[in-house]
Structure 1
Amino acid sequence: MTEASDSTAARISAAAKAMVFPLALAQFIASYAATNMNVAITTIAEDLGTSVGGIQTTITLFTLTMASLMVAGSKLTDILGRKVCFVAGLIVYGTGALLASLSQGLGLLIVGYSLLEGIGSALLIPPIYILITVAFTDVRSRAKYFGIVSGAAGLGAAAGPLLGGFITSSVGWRASFIVQVLVVVWIIVLSRSRVPSTPPVRPRPAFDTAGAILSAAGLFFVVFGILQSGTYGWLASRADFVIGGTVVLPQGGLSPVWLFAALGTGILIWFFLHVRSRERAGKTPLMSLSLFRSRTANLGLVTQNVQWLTMQGSFFVVSVFLQQAWHYNAIQTGLMLTPATIGILASSAAAERFASRHPQRRMIRVGFLAMALGMVCLLLLARETNSIIAFVPGLLMMGLGIGTMLTASVNLVQSAFPDEEQDDISGLSRSVSNLGSSLGTALAGSALVAAASRPEGAPFTVALVMLVVFALLGLAAAMFLPRERAQEERPAAG
């Protein structure tokens, strides 16, 4: 290799590494937005003169918007280009945060936070993972930088309650949105020089509008149904389900969760039939069905879903326990979760070293096992005591497991596809992860309510045992992951 080519390669490598920081910061702020609002619900409701239920609905709508539009947002990277889509998402997100900070009523808060921040997240998150995948062509270096981005995602989700509680308590809830605006502006400035411009696919594919509507509607109703479990339960409905003053499902009857889940599933089946029809006609669909022909990717997506389910579910259970049983405030609760945050950061930082020594599937298995053992430690050590130290081993082990398997599964799934399919798989991967987050919180909340309704019930124990079972199911899925092919020097397109 000539000296000139060495210099060119060094410049390309340096540019790729410089790109990682704004991408990781964007992932952090998007994950932060999903959890920081939970600690300010009462404060915001009192300030805006609305109900706690109204603010909870606002948070739910944010989750629904982001999850529903992730596949469509990913497809737009083909049409608009990755950097354009990333920056556009940041602009929409920042505008939403600014409007939310100025809201004097629930309506503007919903428009700013639920809709615009949700749409912005759906636009900016898929390009993050696409850009990392195509910039780093071997599994080891890709693991390192996926570790940084995954660590930022876990850190944002775990630190959201702590930072949000601190800002709300010391300055006010509006300041939390102003901070998001400032961070977004900083990312946009950094992106101008650090994130490479990627031209749209030529010829530009036509946007599958019908497919986008069907996928968004299907995901919306599935996630909405899951979130209703907190109000109505999973089996017998805890209350009358009313539409327009008419009782559709009476208390004691079938929970409306299944009504919405069936509706969403039916629309998703319609979506897949639409995609198949469009592919047979030689047209570009919103998402190719070829994504589901990879056994590695299918099992990797299952493990991603279960990982986010167990992570968000366990954080939710621990937070509720500390606030209800120990009467901790938001800041104290966030500080108690610090061992988990340290574990996530430590294992994410070691992702490159792990990838050079162990197959990705082994790290996913170890991660699930560590997650399950961490929750068992919490059950054994923290259940019968009010000692803060008793929480540290379990939370630290959970964090180490989360950081290890999140990075490995993202790397495994993204690396299973060539560069020209990265736009599709990135959106599907993020949708699956968001679905897991929603399901984890909903299942944990339902378990807590169900156990609390019985005199002999121990809500904390019941919910954590359920999550241990899910972690073991994730481990079982990971056991079937096939042996990985060598991918050390896959040429990158673009």
Structure 2
Amino acid sequence: MVERTTTGRFPVGLRRALIAFALAQFICSFAGSNMNVMITDISADLNTTVQGVQLTITLFLLVMAALMIPGGKLTDILGRKWCLQLGLLLFGTGALISALAPNLGVLIVGYSILEGVGTALLIPPVYILTTLLFGDIGSRARAFGAISAMGGIGAVAGPLLGGFIAYAVSWRAAFVLQALIVVSIVLLARRAVKDPLPADHALPFDVGGAVLSATGLILIVLGILAADDDLRLTAGLIVAGVLVLIWFFVSVRAKEKAGREPLLSTSLFRNRASNLGLVTQNMQWLMVMGTSFVVSTYLQVVKGYNAIETGAVFTATTVGVLLSSLFAERMARRRPQRTLIIAGFAVTVAGIALLLGVGGAGDSIWSLVPGLFIIGLGLGCMLTPSVNVVQSSFGEDLQGEISGLSRSISNLGSSLGAAVAGTILVAGVDSADPNRAYLSAMLAVAAAGLIGLAAAWFLPRTRPA
């Protein structure tokens, strides 16, 4: 249970642990979005194509989504702090390999695979330990507010920082920065992070379930990526992915009935608030990554802006997320979480409309600023309450599983954002009317926002925390 000092602040040890958790979420979100403004630089340096870089980004997000559920389960078996440290080691190693990559294949190994696997191992412990260490709903909302804010800032500031680094030094320096931040997290977490629950090394690990869940998710996203090449292949991959996921859930129920330990408990899917919260998380991160990828690619490939110019325009989104996140705890005390999530989706969709209206009509890159700022405000408003709705729906015994599932759903949203919106845009950038492809891609992102809004509307009506 969390303790407070007489000033209302968390004890020093908890504050340091929270800083480590927030930095871990920041660097993982930053890694997912900073590549967007370096597409042209990387493709030229590694002698590849825009599609090749898009594939690398999507694979990184997909590896995270596919392995997050197994990663959450492993925290119970190996220990939460141990998985956090192993994940940081893999992530940092992948960043250094990416910085030295001579070709696209090595970049995929370092960035997409090692950084993706590292993220899948380190992020579930962040959310599990936060839930365990910050026991009451108010303190937990404050802690999740800090972590979610850093995640949102990492995602939307990624283009700005990545663009500045790529312009001033090289795109490779962005990966060196990632490795340096990872080192600082390791040093900070070594003493500050404490695991309140012992690891259960005797707990069995459902290898078959892990393979099925990962395979199903991978097939679905690969099917979306193949949409601009062969619609029959797309349909086949998506259907195959759905069938594999059905097989996964059938196997989970069979293992539970037989008294064996499955990868996930079916009780996770019987909670209405959590189920709807997971939908909102998926749609939120689809919008984050979809907007970042589409706007960044459009400005570089179609409009010809460089990395620093493209990154600078995303300052508006960063400021918007930061402003709304700063008031997360105060809003959680005054408004139900359902209200905050609904407002967040409504404001974000309005921001997209403004982006397409004002930004589409203007010739200057700065005409995009008002829409991107409003998008940032909406995203910052709803990221924290969505996490709190899901994590607080279950007790300590299921925190490992729900954290893995929650982060998997969120990262699947990021994968779908890069895959769906990116595929629509990339397929049309070489056409006679690339502006129409940009419009279609952003409308797909707005449609995700409307789906999230509908899910949030049906969340249980609760009083403010």
Q: Please state whether the residue corresponding to 1:285 is helix, strand or coil.
A: coil
Superposition deviation, residue 393 in structure 1: 2.7
Tell me which moved more, 154-163 or 9-18: 9-18
**Counterpart residue number, 1:276:** 253
Equivalent residues of 2:37, 2:297 under 8 A apart: no
Superposition deviation, residue 54 in structure 1: 4.3
- Select 1:171's aligned residue among 161, 164, 169: 169
Superposition deviation, residue 331 in structure 1: 1.1
- Select 2:456's aligned residue among 478, 481, 487: 478
Q: Please state whether the residue corresponding to 1:472 is helix, strand or coil.
A: helix
Tell me which moved more, 336-345 or 379-388: 379-388
Equivalent residues of 2:36, 2:297 under 8 A apart: no
Could you tell me how far apart the structure 2 residues matched to 1:451 and 1:59 are? 19
Could you tell me how far apart the structure 1 residues matched to 2:195 and 2:97 are? 29
**Counterpart residue number, 1:77:** 75
Could you tell me how far apart the structure 2 residues matched to 1:436 and 1:170 are? 32
Counterpart amino acid of residue 126 in structure 2: I
Tell me which moved more, 146-155 or 78-87: 146-155
Equivalent residues of 2:66, 2:213 under 8 A apart: yes
Could you tell me how far apart the structure 1 residues matched to 2:361 and 2:417 are? 25
Counterpart amino acid of residue 444 in structure 1: A
Over alpha carbons, which structure has the higher Rg?
A: 1
- Measured at CA, do residues 406 and 187 of structure 1 come closer, stay the same or move farther in structure 2, by a change above 3 Å? same
Could you tell me how far apart the structure 2 residues matched to 1:457 and 1:102 are? 35
- Select 1:429's aligned residue among 406, 415, 418: 406
Counterpart amino acid of residue 188 in structure 1: V
Tell me which moved more, 219-228 or 279-288: 219-228
- Measured at CA, do residues 179 and 311 of structure 1 come closer, stay the same or move farther in structure 2, by a change above 3 Å? closer
- Measured at CA, do residues 324 and 37 of structure 1 come closer, stay the same or move farther in structure 2, by a change above 3 Å? closer
Tell me which moved more, 266-275 or 450-459: 450-459
**Counterpart residue number, 2:318:** 341
Counterpart amino acid of residue 94 in structure 1: G
**Counterpart residue number, 1:462:** 440
Q: Tell me the number of residue pairs that the alignment of Structure 1 and Structure 2 aligns.
A: 462
- 1:365 and 2:342 matched: yes
- 1:102 and 2:103 matched: no
Tell me which moved more, 198-207 or 254-263: 198-207
Equivalent residues of 1:287, 1:424 under 8 A apart: yes
Superposition deviation, residue 227 in structure 1: 2.6
Equivalent residues of 2:30, 2:155 under 8 A apart: yes
Equivalent residues of 1:162, 1:333 under 8 A apart: yes
Superposition deviation, residue 450 in structure 1: 6.7
Counterpart amino acid of residue 398 in structure 1: I
Equivalent residues of 1:302, 1:477 under 8 A apart: yes
**Counterpart residue number, 1:227:** 225
Could you tell me how far apart the structure 1 residues matched to 2:45 and 2:367 are? 37
Matches within 5 A, 1:282-301: 282-301=259-278
Counterpart amino acid of residue 174 in structure 2: S
Matches within 5 A, 1:377-456: 377-387=354-364, 390-448=367-425, 453=431
- 1:21 and 2:19 matched: yes
Superposition deviation, residue 36 in structure 1: 2.0
Q: Please state whether the residue corresponding to 2:361 is helix, strand or coil.
A: coil
Measured against aligned partners, the alpha-carbon deviations of 1:54-99 in whole angstroms (never above 9, x if no partner) come to 4444333322222211100110100111111101100111112222
User: Which structure 2 residue ranges, 5 or more long, are not aligned?
Assistant: none
Measured against aligned partners, the alpha-carbon deviations of 1:358-397 in whole angstroms (never above 9, x if no partner) come to 1100000000111111112223222211245543332221
- 1:353 and 2:330 matched: yes
Q: CA RMSD in A?
A: 2.6
Could you tell me how far apart the structure 2 residues matched to 1:9 and 1:128 are? 26
TM-score normalised by length of structure 2: 0.92
